Amino acid sequence: MDYDVIILGGGSAGLQAARSIAEIAGQLSVLLIEEDAQVGFPEHCTGLVSLSGIEKALRLNPEQVAMNYVRGAHIVSPSGFRLTVEKEARVAAVVDRPLYEQKLFDIVSRRADVVLGVKAEIDGVSVKIGTKRLRARYLVDARGLRSLVSRKPDARRWVLPALQYDIQVYSAETDYVYIFLGSKLSHGFFAWAVPLDEERYRIGVASKGMVLTRIRYLLRRLERLTDGEVRPRALRKVIGGGVYTGGLADQVKGNVFYIGDSAGQTKPTTGGGLVYHSTAALLLAKALKACEPRAYSAGVKRALGMEISGQRFLRRVLNRIPDGQLDYILMSVKEIGGEEIISRHGHMDEQMRVMLNLGWEILRKRPELYLSILRSLFYAIVS
């Protein structure tokens, strides 16, 4: 064997896997191969991560990688009605993704071999680089959605094209993100606006179609949608990508382990995956150290499976609700004190807990609304 572990993909998932293996199973030799010449580029994600997730899963000090901190969100309905959820203290950071991955790279490169700017493919039990083959006891596939859809073509139906604009704005608040709902801005997801600092926002759209048209519409309407709080000045950068909402895929096949987007370790409700795949990286390292490969799949399902399955179901329900009913639901949630419930129980990485609390309150105070939601649940189940 050339190495004990070869990791394909040097994004966050691959780097966290390499780091975790080096720190927990240090007796294993590790090679990481990344096809791009520099880690952290091209950018894809928004970078909004819970502070607890940065500290516990990413295992970094937020001050090292944060561009901004937020403490709440404005959820804007299709008609412009606003629901605000917030904490007294900041709860999340907007992570500088290139800087974050560079810091991981610095950690990994001291304890593992790293090759950049080389494309490699898994070929049976080995890795093929041009005409050369490298063999390893374990292979880790961290190549993202490309790997997932090549193994499971049906997964394409759960991949939404996404576009983001980094825009310069006139001085704006930095404590809240915006989530925009409704069919004008997205089919199958939502649009967003995240403050990078007082003069920069990252706005984005993920949708089953017309992504470019929709993000241009968002840019034109942003000042009105935010009640004048975010006023665009200039477009600075365009970021492409994709959002996967289909839930967990296979985690292990033979001696190949999948991590990150390639394993479906993302939130179907929001598309975020940094905390989940960093959690999976720790589980992978522990499984390899114990020489129990199957423990990885079992550990991921135990740690993330129920939460991701619940979010996937919720995403399907939300996609079934027409704009008028969505307005009615959000207004009703506000009337029953839903903002306070979500603010008190809400957590970016554990979303189903707050949904259960909110569901119980709706049943208790607005049973007719509960029945309406149940109809959407039924259609989500049978579709």
Angle between helices 323-335 and 338-345 (to 10 degrees): 80
Sign of CA dihedral 334, 335, 340, 342: negative
Exposure b/e, 95-121, CB count within 10 A at least 16 = b: bbbbebbbbbbebbeeebebeeeeebe
Regarding whether 164 and 150 lie in a shared domain, the answer is no
> What is the CATH number for 232?
3.30.9.10
> 50: closest CA among 66, 27, 34?
66
Q: Which of 290, 305, 320 is the last residue of a domain?
A: 305
Indicate the number of domains in the chain: 3
Regarding whether 369 and 236 lie in a shared domain, the answer is no
Q: What is the Cα–Cα distance from 95 to 70, expressed in whole angstroms? A: 11
- Walk across the sheet containing 176-180 and list its strands: 82-86, 72-76, 176-180, 191-197, 200-206, 159-169, 232-244
Strands 121-123 and 126-129: antiparallel
Strands 232-244 and 176-180: unpaired
Q: What is the Cα–Cα distance from 4 to 30, expressed in whole angstroms? A: 6
* Inside any domain, residue 33: yes
Regarding whether 107 and 33 lie in a shared domain, the answer is yes
Number of other CB atoms surrounding residue 78 within 10 Å = 18
Q: Which residue has the tokens 């004048």?
A: 228
Q: Which of 287, 305, 323 is the last residue of a domain?
A: 305
Distance of CA 2 to the CA centre of its chain: 34
> 21: closest CA among 137, 106, 112?
112
Q: What is the Cα–Cα distance from 77 to 273, expressed in whole angstroms? A: 25
Helix and strand element counts for the chain (H, E): 13, 18
Regarding whether 105 and 44 lie in a shared domain, the answer is yes
For residue 61, give the 3-state DSSP assignment. coil
Regarding whether 291 and 201 lie in a shared domain, the answer is no
Yes or no: say if 306 and 40 are a contact pair by the CB < 8 Å rule.
Answer: no
Q: Which of 254, 272, 305 is the last residue of a domain?
A: 305
* Inside any domain, residue 85: no
Regarding whether 147 and 282 lie in a shared domain, the answer is yes
Regarding whether 265 and 328 lie in a shared domain, the answer is no
> 114: closest CA among 190, 38, 165, 216?
38
Domain hosting residue 298, numbered range: 3-65+95-154+246-305
* Inside any domain, residue 90: no
* Inside any domain, residue 72: no
Strands 200-206 and 191-197: antiparallel
Phi and psi for 163 in degrees, rounded to 5?
-130, 140
Regarding whether 169 and 201 lie in a shared domain, the answer is yes
* CA triple 276-282-288, angle to 5 deg: 130
Regarding whether 133 and 12 lie in a shared domain, the answer is yes
Regarding whether 251 and 207 lie in a shared domain, the answer is no
Phi and psi for 258 in degrees, rounded to 5?
-110, 140
DSSP label at 295?
H
* Inside any domain, residue 75: no
Question: 190 Cβ partners below 8 Å, 6+ apart?
Answer: 179, 180, 181, 206
Maximum pairwise Cα distance, the chain: 67
What string of pLDDT tens digits covers the 383 residues of the chain? 699 999 999 999 999 999 999 999 999 999 999 999 999 888 888 999 999 999 999 999 999 999 999 999 999 999 999 999 999 999 999 999 999 999 999 999 999 999 999 999 998 778 999 889 999 999 999 999 999 999 999 999 999 999 999 999 998 889 999 999 999 999 999 999 999 999 999 999 999 999 999 999 999 999 999 999 999 999 999 999 999 999 999 999 999 999 999 999 999 999 999 999 999 999 999 999 999 989 999 999 999 999 999 999 999 988 988 898 889 888 888 888 888 888 888 889 999 888 888 777 777 777 776 666 666 655 555 55
* Inside any domain, residue 23: yes
Distance of CA 288 to the CA centre of its chain: 25
Yes or no: say if 11 and 262 are a contact pair by the CB < 8 Å rule.
Answer: no
Yes or no: say if 284 and 21 are a contact pair by the CB < 8 Å rule.
Answer: yes
Q: What is the Cα–Cα distance from 69 to 265, expressed in whole angstroms? A: 24
Regarding whether 268 and 228 lie in a shared domain, the answer is no
* Inside any domain, residue 148: yes
* Inside any domain, residue 284: yes
Regarding whether 189 and 202 lie in a shared domain, the answer is yes
> 70: closest CA among 54, 97, 88?
88
Q: Which residue has the tokens 């080995």?
A: 126
Omega cis (within 30) before 42: yes
> What is the CATH number for 144?
3.50.50.60
**Left (φ > 0), alpha (ψ -120 to 50) or beta: where does 57 sit?**
alpha
